[in-house]
């Protein structure tokens, strides 16, 4: 099995009017992507067959169609595909320039309340962490999107109490749904 984690990149609305893009993180550090849709949603997006009112979807092995698309069903489907040894067949590589264009890796040392480094690429961050034998956490952060908003948009968090919409809460908000890794003395 190769699947390490995944991030749902789009909000999941009902009815589903578009494919839901998901970034896949493999154990070897590789990032891939795929899309999820329902049979019903396929009638609301895609290309038109010329001169008709018929939608067409072809040449997309990374399009995974399920009867229901939720964060839980996406997780179950990815684990099922991975257990079958087909995670690479069902996902696509990122094209050159696509990886990390909208996110950065932020390192917080153990017992530190502020970041000590920011990297564009995880491999650079891990080299720095290893060479300095650091302990702490490396987290992928979206650029130009507060983590609070990112988590709400992707359905990872919904404010339920008034204080959860206030500045103090938003200012210290973090999400376990962000891709993150823990290190001890430079080792993961």
Q: What's the rounded Cα separation, in Å, for the pair 25 and 60?
A: 20
Higher pLDDT, 183 or 94: 183
Judge contact between 66 and 73, C-beta under 8 A.
yes
Report CA torsion sign: 121, 127, 128, 134: positive
Q: How far apart are CA 20 and CA 38, in angstroms?
A: 10
pTM over 0.75: no
Q: What is the DSSP string of 125-145?
A: HHHHHHHTT--EEEEEEESSS
Reported as a single tens digit per residue, the pLDDT across 27-64 is: 887 888 899 999 998 888 877 888 998 888 888 889 99
Residue carrying structure tokens 């003395």? 185
């Amino acid at each position: 099995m190769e699947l390490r984690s995944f991030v749902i990149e789009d909000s999941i609305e009902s009815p589903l009017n578009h494919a839901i893009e998901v970034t896949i993180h493999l154990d070897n550090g590789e990032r891939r992507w795929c899309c999820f849709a329902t049979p019903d949603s396929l009638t609301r997006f895609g290309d038109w067959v010329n001169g008709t009112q018929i939608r067409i979807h072809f040449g997309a092995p990374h399009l995974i169609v399920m009867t229901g698309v939720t964060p839980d069903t996406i997780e179950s489907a990815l684990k099922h595909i991975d257990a079958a040894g087909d995670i690479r067949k069902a996902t696509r590589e990122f094209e050159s320039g696509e990886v990390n264009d909208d996110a950065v890796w932020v390192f917080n040392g153990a017992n530190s309340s502020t970041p000590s480094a920011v990297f564009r690429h995880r491999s650079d961050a891990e080299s720095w962490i290893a060479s300095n034998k650091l302990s702490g956490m490396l987290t992928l952060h979206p650029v130009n999107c507060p983590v609070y908003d990112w988590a709400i948009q992707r359905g990872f968090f919904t404010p339920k109490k008034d204080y959860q919409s206030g500045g103090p809460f938003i200012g210290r908000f973090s999400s376990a749904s962000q891709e993150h890794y823990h290190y001890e003395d430079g080792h993961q």
